[in-house]
Amino acid sequence: MGTEEQGSQKSGKVAPAKGKLGVMVVGMGAVATTMIAGVEAVRKGLAKPIGSLTQMGTIRLGKRTENNAPRIKDFVPLADLNDIVFTGWDIFEENVYEAASHAAVLDQKTLDLLKPYLETVKPLPAVFDQYYVKRLNGTHIKKGKSKRDLADQVRADIKAFKKTVDRVVMIWAASTEIFIKPTAVHESLEAFEKGLENNDIAIAPSQIYAYAALSEGVPFANGAPNLTVDTPAMVELSKRNAAPICGKDFKTGQTLMKTVLAPAFKARMLGVSGWFSTNILGNRDGEVLDDPESFKTKEESKLGSLDYIFQPELYPDLYKDLYHKIRINYYPPRGDEKEAWDNIDIFGWLGYPMQIKVNFLCRDSILAAPIALDLVLFLDLAKRTPSLCSIGIQEWLSFYLKSPQSAPGLYPEHDLFIQSMKLKNTLRHIMGADLITHLGLEYYD
């Protein structure tokens, strides 16, 4: 058993996933509606949940010779898709059928088959302030005397929803807010609560939703790169109320590729002198990211991975001079069908240079929807797991996120394969199964 995985083997079984799981989605745009419509399509047997580890993945147990690899959803007690109930908030009044039709990610024929259900999912009025998302102007918005008052209104929404379901998880799939640096108001829960009273400018709407969720003991995931639960105040609240949190910003396309390729270069001790990444996309997310202040938030989130993976301080000859540049260009004709190009300048034996080009023609929300679903299901599992529910940050969910969150003083793990091992070993650990180290010497005894 590796030291990191040993952890505290706190006893206590994972509680079963009994009854309905309520999923409260902040922002019912392209990603959210693609997730909701997708879950309904799978429930109706119209499609397969491709891209979802919780639905399709297996987990090896025991030795390779044992041939024991159950499905993850049969190994850990996850909520069944048929038990999920969706609701949420948006700054526009459209129901999920209308919003999904506008997002134009899924074809209209599929949406029409799902219409009777999708029409029933209607957003509640949102907490919104255009100062934090410059390119949007909503109409379906809560009014309040203070940020504290708005947080109380969200808490009231959660309490009302809780009466109709057995458990609740919240996920932010709303627009990227402007770049905010943590300030004194984020240092402790006490300071944060004062900040809510005083309408502190460093408290954005996403933080108000997160505060409301964690105050109600509801786990919270953040699909966008804005500062939300990655502050001491929110970690404190998460631990206090046994409401698990994780990092932020769905790791879907270009960064997914980066966190696959970069570990390969490093494993082979190949140097990298430059990595230029550019994108075109034309959905509403692209429009919001066209604002320099929202772009800055995304840029910071996307930049982190390479530095952490390459560890230039350990390998100065290989990575000290790496030039990393990221561009996102709003280009309406492409809609949700983003195209990403990467030019990677690498060097090998004796410093001889080579180049790699990656051209990913992806579908943004098709990649993000299963991640959103998995995060919701795994956070609900964490909430029911005695050894996980009160530790705050669920580092094992870093697998899904561009900006993983880790304990203070600990660098985040970005390598997709380490993240995947960590996730699966966490599942083995909570179920009392042996961890897998890949040592394998026993086969040669």
Ligand X SMILES: NC(=O)c1ccc[n+]([C@@H]2O[C@H](COP(=O)([O-])OP(=O)(O)OC[C@H]3O[C@@H](n4cnc5c(N)ncnc54)[C@H](O)[C@@H]3O)[C@@H](O)[C@H]2O)c1
Site of interaction with ligand X (CB under 6 A): 26-32, 89-92, 103, 126-128, 133, 136, 173-176, 205, 223-224, 249-250, 252-253, 283-285, 288, 364-365, 367-368
Nearest approach, Cβ of residue 179 and ligand X (Å):
13
- Kindly tell me which of 76 and 126 has the beta carbon lying closer to ligand X: 126
Helix or strand run (H / E) with residue 150: helix 147-162
Nearest approach, Cβ of residue 118 and ligand X (Å):
15
- Kindly tell me which of 176 and 425 has the beta carbon lying closer to ligand X: 176
- Kindly tell me which of 89 and 265 has the beta carbon lying closer to ligand X: 89
Helical residues (DSSP H) of 174-315, grouped into ranges: 189-197, 205-215, 232-240, 254-267, 284-289, 292-310
Is there a contact between 14 and 161 (Cβ–Cβ < 8 Å)?
A: no
Q: What are phi and psi of 80, to 5 degrees?
A: -80, 145
Is there a contact between 219 and 245 (Cβ–Cβ < 8 Å)?
A: yes
- Kindly tell me which of 19 and 292 has the beta carbon lying closer to ligand X: 292
Tokens standing for residue 326: 């990221």
Q: Closest by alpha carbon to 206, among 258, 151, 271, 153? A: 151
Nearest approach, Cβ of residue 368 and ligand X (Å):
4
Tokens standing for residue 325: 């540049």
- Kindly tell me which of 179 and 319 has the beta carbon lying closer to ligand X: 179
- Kindly tell me which of 42 and 281 has the beta carbon lying closer to ligand X: 281
Tokens standing for residue 409: 């003083």
Tokens standing for residue 420: 């995947």
Nearest approach, Cβ of residue 72 and ligand X (Å):
23
Q: Name the residue number minimizing CB distance to ligand X.
A: 29
286 residue type, one letter? G
- Kindly tell me which of 174 and 213 has the beta carbon lying closer to ligand X: 174
Is there a contact between 369 and 286 (Cβ–Cβ < 8 Å)?
A: no
Nearest approach, Cβ of residue 151 and ligand X (Å):
13
Nearest approach, Cβ of residue 417 and ligand X (Å):
20
- Measure CA 69 to chain center: 26
Nearest approach, Cβ of residue 415 and ligand X (Å):
19
Q: What is the rounded CA–CA span in Å between residue 288 and residue 292?
A: 9
- Measure CA 151 to chain center: 22
